[in-house]
């Protein structure tokens, strides 16, 4: 007789109770297995999509290295060095014009949050070697900064010859020289213009400010839809979509130069989004409920998923993150290419001990960068004769236009970091494609090292933007690893 038959008699033995419990557990397990198998599989897949979309692997398109290699090299060797270098006075003070009018449209929208405001420097805080127009626009020279008698004639004969040249002619010569030099620029340099001021980057960190809405969307829409190269097959999407779908690039439907341009802009966009997610305004009040003057900041996982997860980005989010690595490698290559010139800079602020430390730290960083096993190969671009020259000009003009769009950003702090990072990326492009930083030249007798041009100089603002922009990309890759750890 089955154990449960005796239940009708109203008696329940210990053996019968055990059978009932075992039978119930087995039946429940079978029911869950039969009715929930596909649910469990889908749930597992959703979990994988949620927690693994930023776990990138494999090679980086258009480059010859792996994501894992970049992660290790950046997070272990480069990021710690940059972090300690960029807090030095030479790199923390950036001169910029934040009050220029938007040249493309009338937009009076401004960020209303108090965190959009930029704290400007007081005169007494600026290092002595950075004060004055000559040190901010033209190549700052230590000897010029420390010259005590400006009326002293150090070369009588040269002074005598120059007396026959009028001041007006001198200004015209300088204007021609500035024009010639500007032909190599990929972005607008406005630190010499009236209205430009020094900003302490450490007092104005890049983070979420609440700047959003139509004004913010218009910025990225203008960049992608009007200034990125567009393939004929590309469908128009919203400002947070990939304007060139990854599948098109994977099928080589977009030429290398167009891919590079788009991927650099996309990488910059991804980097900025990561900064906003990693430094998000969690609350304007402290844990005690009082208003916190500086706000409470920290990582926002939900915002990170919204901006990059597959189901929120039509499966493009992981490709946008890979573009971050691409932009990083391009700027890494620019620093490596300019390393012989950057080593010779004085990094002069007028503070001897600090200047010596910065110069030593820069040399150490450049040595590490030059030791990276696989740099981006810029020589594969613009190598097709007359059509390549035309394409290079169009490439430069489009990036120049993007630097102008930064003056249309309605949030002052967003405008500050947008201008700095675009200028840094533009300086990297200048190094890679102007030809003035090429260390080798082909002759009839073979290949020889090229002698540095006497006029080859980077202005201080370009150097500050170059290192800080690369620092932002480096920080993004480091913060991406932090997000992975939290997701795990």
pLDDT in tens, 59-77: 888 887 899 999 999 999 9
- Kindly report the average pLDDT of the chain as a whole number: 78
Whether 442 is covered by a domain: the verdict is no
Integer Cα distance of 437 and 430 in angstroms: 9
In this prediction, residues 382-390 reach a mean pLDDT of 85
| 86 vs 142, more confident | 86
Residue 159 has pLDDT above 70, yes or no: no
Give strand pairing partners of 449: 440
- Model confidence at 353, pLDDT cuts 50, 70, 90, reads very high
Q: Is there a contact between 287 and 295 (Cβ–Cβ < 8 Å)? A: no
Integer Cα distance of 356 and 69 in angstroms: 32
Catalytic residues: 411, 414
Res 375: pLDDT: 84
Res 447: pLDDT: 38
Res 277: pLDDT: 94
pTM, two decimal places = 0.79
Res 294: pLDDT: 74
Map residue 64 onto helix, strand or coil: coil
- Tokens, residue 110: 């401004």
Res 445: pLDDT: 43
Res 241: pLDDT: 47
Res 291: pLDDT: 63
- Model confidence at 37, pLDDT cuts 50, 70, 90, reads very low
Whether 131 is covered by a domain: the verdict is no
Residue 90 has pLDDT above 80, yes or no: yes
Res 296: pLDDT: 82
| 13 vs 445, more confident | 13
Res 164: pLDDT: 61
Integer Cα distance of 461 and 470 in angstroms: 14
- Model confidence at 135, pLDDT cuts 50, 70, 90, reads very low
- Tokens, residue 427: 């300086």
Res 246: pLDDT: 60
CB atoms within 10 A of CB 395: 21
Res 94: pLDDT: 96
Residue 41 has pLDDT above 80, yes or no: no
Nearest to 319 by CA among 49, 47, 56: 56
Whether 427 is covered by a domain: the verdict is yes
Whether 462 is covered by a domain: the verdict is yes
- Model confidence at 255, pLDDT cuts 50, 70, 90, reads confident
**Binding site for FAD: residue ranges?**
207, 209, 220, 266, 269, 307
Whether 106 is covered by a domain: the verdict is yes
Residue 335 has pLDDT above 50, yes or no: yes
- What is the secondary structure of 129-163 as a DSSP string? GG-SHHHHSSPP-HHHHH-S-TT--S-HHHHHHHT
CB atoms within 10 A of CB 203: 12
Res 429: pLDDT: 95
DSSP 437: T
- Model confidence at 313, pLDDT cuts 50, 70, 90, reads confident
- Model confidence at 254, pLDDT cuts 50, 70, 90, reads confident
Contact partners, residue 437, CB within 8 Å, separation at least 6: 337, 338, 341, 431, 456
Q: How many residues does the chain have?
A: 488
Whether 32 is covered by a domain: the verdict is no
**Binding site: residue ranges?**
207, 209, 220, 266, 269, 307
Domain residue limits at 254: 51-124+181-286+295-437+457-487
Res 15: pLDDT: 60
Whether 111 is covered by a domain: the verdict is yes
In this prediction, residues 337-354 reach a mean pLDDT of 93
State how many domains the chain has: 1
* Counts of helices then strands in the chain (DSSP H, E): 19, 6
Whether 117 is covered by a domain: the verdict is yes
């Amino acid at each position: 007789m089955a154990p449960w038959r005796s239940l009708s008699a109203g008696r329940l033995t210990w053996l019968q109770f055990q059978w009932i419990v075992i039978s119930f557990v087995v039946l429940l397990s079978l029911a869950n297995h039969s009715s929930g198998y596909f649910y469990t599989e889908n749930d597992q897949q959703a979990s994988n999509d949620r927690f693994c979309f930023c776990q990138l692997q494999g090679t980086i398109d258009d480059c010859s290295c792996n994501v894992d290699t970049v992660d290790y090299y950046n997070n272990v060797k480069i990021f710690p060095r940059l972090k300690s270098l960029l807090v030095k006075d030479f790199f923390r003070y950036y001169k910029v014009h934040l009050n220029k009018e938007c040249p493309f449209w009338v937009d009076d929208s401004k960020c209303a949050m108090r965190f959009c405001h930029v704290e400007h420097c007081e005169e007494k805080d600026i290092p002595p070697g950075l004060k004055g127009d000559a040190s901010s626009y033209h190549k700052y020279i230590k000897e010029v900064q420390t010259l005590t008698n400006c009326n002293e004639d150090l070369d009588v004969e040269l002074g005598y010859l120059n007396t026959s040249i009028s001041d007006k002619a001198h200004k015209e010569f300088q204007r021609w020289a500035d024009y010639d030099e500007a032909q190599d620029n990929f972005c607008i340099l406005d630190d010499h213009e009236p209205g430009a001021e020094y900003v302490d980057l450490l007092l104005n960190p890049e983070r979420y400010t609440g700047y959003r809405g139509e004004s913010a969307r218009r910025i990225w829409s203008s960049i992608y839809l009007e200034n990125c190269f567009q393939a004929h097959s590309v469908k128009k999407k919203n400002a947070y979509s990939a304007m060139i779908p990854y599948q098109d690039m994977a099928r080589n439907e977009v030429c290398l130069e167009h891919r590079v341009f788009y991927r650099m802009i996309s990488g910059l966009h991804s980097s900025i989004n990561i900064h906003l997610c990693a430094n998000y305004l969690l609350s304007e009040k402290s844990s005690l409920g009082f208003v916190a003057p500086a706000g409470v900041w920290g990582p926002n996982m939900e915002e990170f998923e919204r901006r990059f997860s597959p189901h929120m980005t039509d499966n493009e989010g992981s490709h946008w993150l890979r573009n971050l690595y691409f932009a990083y490698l391009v700027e890494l290559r620019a620093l490596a290419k300019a390393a012989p010139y950057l080593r010779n800079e004085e990094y002069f602020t007028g503070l001897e001990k600090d200047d010596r430390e910065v110069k030593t730290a820069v040399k150490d960083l450049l040595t590490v960068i030059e030791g990276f096993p696989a740099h981006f190969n810029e020589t594969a671009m613009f190598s097709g004769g007359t059509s390549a020259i035309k394409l290079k000009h169009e490439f430069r003009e489009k990036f120049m236009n993007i630097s102008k769009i930064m003056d249309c950003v309605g949030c002052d702090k967003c405008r500050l970091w947008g201008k700095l990072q675009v200028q840094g990326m533009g300086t990297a492009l200048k190094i890679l494609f102007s030809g003035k930083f090429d260390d080798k030249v082909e002759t009839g007798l073979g290949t020889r090292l090229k002698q540095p041009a006497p006029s080859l100089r980077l202005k201080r603002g370009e150097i500050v933007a170059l290192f800080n922009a690369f620092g932002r990309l480096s920080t993004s890759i480091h913060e991406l690893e932090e997000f992975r750890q939290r997701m795990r």
